[in-house]
């Protein structure tokens, strides 16, 4: 991408800067054209080759077929994630949308934050995204997503401590909210990727957009791993419960530090996460050694402990990966001649 340097000029009381002629020509601008100028959070300027602030609504049409409702729902999800503002589902010919399929469509939409049905009849369902992307905040959505996942894991650790897995339904319900926030964040990130003006308003650079996409996926994956963990029928066969609970507390510390490090671009905090993971790994190895020394207590106990250790390690590695997204700082002074 070419870069230009311009000297500021003063005419009367105004300070002016000239625009690159190639850029002016390629965007069909001329004397009197209006170009919006945004002041970004980092005090830089973004200039856009648009003569008006009118936003164009993105629309898509999806053909309804009773035989492929699963495909239709996936198409709606895809359209939402790609940033379409209006999504129309239409039955062609003499067909009509059945009541059962209409209800299934509405249930699927509940996972899509901001998408509401604005028109409906027997042949059409029109939904519209009613939130203004300019008012959304990627960091705030990520922290909300993180808070839900943290609560899910904390309750799971408590269930391990009490050896009573009574939280499964609650965890499943909260994982649905994790999906909702994840879809919203991915939609915002993709929209920013395709719209540099929106990216500038959100103060997201290209590398920020990529990092948020990866971080969102890691948090959503952690939520899925927690669901897998509580899918164990019960925790009554687990030995060395106190050890597992202590390891769980280390995972909680890792999550808190990793997300804070990512949001604040704090490399030192990300290094703490790596150190905490080493302690977690040591705790897991101690449990395995104690289990081997204690002798096998039966296949149910062995399977339960291995499953729990594996699940907790998958969750812990998510926070290591989030911490790894933080840009490294230069700790060494650059070489200078003389």
The DSSP-derived string for 12-48 is: TTEEE-PPPHHHHHHTT--TT----EEE-TTS-EEE-
Which pLDDT score, from 0 to 100, does residue 54 have? Answer: 41
pLDDT beyond 80 at 236:
no
DSSP helix/strand/coil, 60: strand
In this structure, of 11-15, 174-178, 237-241, 271-275, the range with the lowest mean pLDDT score is 11-15
How is the chain split among helix, strand and coil, in percent rounded to 5?
Answer: 60, 10, 30
For the chain, the average pLDDT equals 84
pLDDT beyond 90 at 60:
yes
List all residues 6 or more positions away from 157 whose beta carbon is below 8 Å from its beta carbon: 245, 248, 249, 252
Which pLDDT score, from 0 to 100, does residue 3 have? Answer: 75
Give the domain 59-133 fold.
Translation Initiation Factor IF3 (3.30.110)
Residue percentage of the chain with pLDDT more than 70 = 85
In this structure, of 18-22, 123-127, 149-153, the range with the lowest mean pLDDT score is 18-22
DSSP secondary structure letter of residue 286: H
- What would the pLDDT profile of 202-220 be if each residue is shown by its tens digit? 888 889 999 999 999 999 9
- What would the pLDDT profile of 45-58 be if each residue is shown by its tens digit? 777 776 444 445 68
What's the Rg (C-alpha) of the chain?
26
C-alpha span between 255 and 30 (Å, rounded): 53
- What would the pLDDT profile of 14-24 be if each residue is shown by its tens digit? 687 888 888 88
C-alpha span between 198 and 194 (Å, rounded): 9
C-alpha span between 326 and 240 (Å, rounded): 35
DSSP secondary structure letter of residue 133: G
Mean pLDDT value of segment 166-177? 89
pLDDT beyond 80 at 237:
no
Mean pLDDT value of segment 63-79? 88
Which pLDDT score, from 0 to 100, does residue 105 have? Answer: 87
Yes or no: say if 183 and 83 are a contact pair by the CB < 8 Å rule. no
HSE-CB for 30 with a 13 A CA cutoff: 1
Which pLDDT score, from 0 to 100, does residue 49 have? Answer: 76
pLDDT beyond 90 at 337:
no
Give the domain 135-324 fold.
Methane Monooxygenase Hydroxylase; Chain G, domain 1 (1.20.58)
pLDDT beyond 50 at 185:
yes
Which pLDDT score, from 0 to 100, does residue 297 have? Answer: 58
- pTM of the full structure: 0.77
Nearest to residue 111, comparing CAs of 135, 76, 83?
76
Q: What angle do CA 303, 307, 313 make, to 5 degrees?
A: 150
In this structure, of 26-35, 75-84, 265-274, 328-337, the range with the lowest mean pLDDT score is 328-337
DSSP helix/strand/coil, 183: helix
Question: Do the domains spanning 59-133 and 135-324 agree at the CATH topology level?
Answer: no
C-alpha span between 21 and 19 (Å, rounded): 6
Say which residue, 309 or 80, is predicted with more confidence. Answer: 80
C-alpha span between 336 and 104 (Å, rounded): 66
C-alpha span between 258 and 248 (Å, rounded): 15
Question: Tokens in use for 135?
Answer: 């008012």
The residue ranges of every structural domain in the chain are 9-47, 59-133, 135-324
Which pLDDT score, from 0 to 100, does residue 128 have? Answer: 93
Question: pLDDT-based confidence at 139, cuts 50/70/90?
Answer: very high
Which pLDDT score, from 0 to 100, does residue 127 have? Answer: 93
Give the CA distances from residue 217 to residues 70, 179, 318, in Å, rounded to whole numbers and listed in that order: 23, 10, 9
Which pLDDT score, from 0 to 100, does residue 89 have? Answer: 93
């Amino acid at each position: 991408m070419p870069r230009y340097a311009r000297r500021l000029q003063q005419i009367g009381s105004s300070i002016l800067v000239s625009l690159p002629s190639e850029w002016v020509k390629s965007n069909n601008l001329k004397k009197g054209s209006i170009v919006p100028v945004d002041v970004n959070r980092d005090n830089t300027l973004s200039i856009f080759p648009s003569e008006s602030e009118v936003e164009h609504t993105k629309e898509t049409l999806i053909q309804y077929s009773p035989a492929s409702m699963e495909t239709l729902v996936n198409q709606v999800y895809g359209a939402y994630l790609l940033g379409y503002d209006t999504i129309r589902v239409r039955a062609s010919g003499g067909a009509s949308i059945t009541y059962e399929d209409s209800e299934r469509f509405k249930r699927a939409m509940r996972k899509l934050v901001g998408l509401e049905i604005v028109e409906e009849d027997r042949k059409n369902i029109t939904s519209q995204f009613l939130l203004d992307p300019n008012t959304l905040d990627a960091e705030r959505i990520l922290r909300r997503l993180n808070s839900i996942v943290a609560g899910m894991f904390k309750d799971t650790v408590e269930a391990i401590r009490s050896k009573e897995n009574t939280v499964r339904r609650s965890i499943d319900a909260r994982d649905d909210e994790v999906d909702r926030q994840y879809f919203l964040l991915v939609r915002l990130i993709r929209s920013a990727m395709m719209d540099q003006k929106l990216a500038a308003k959100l103060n997201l650079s290209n590398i920020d957009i990529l990092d948020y996409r990866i971080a969102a996926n890691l948090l959503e994956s952690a939520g899925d791993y927690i669901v897998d963990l509580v899918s164990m029928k019960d925790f009554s066969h687990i030995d060395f419960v106190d050890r597992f609970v202590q390891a769980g507390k280390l995972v909680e510390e890792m999550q808190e530090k990793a997300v804070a490090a990512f949001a604040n671009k704090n490399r030192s905090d990300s290094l703490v996460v790596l150190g905490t993971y080493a302690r977690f790994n040591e705790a897991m190895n101690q449990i395995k050694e104690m289990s081997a020394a204690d002798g096998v207590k039966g296949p149910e106990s062995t399977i339960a402990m291995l499953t729990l250790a594996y699940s907790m390690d998958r969750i812990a590695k998510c926070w290591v990966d989030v911490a790894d997204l933080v840009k490294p700082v230069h700790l060494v002074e650059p070489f200078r001649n003389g």
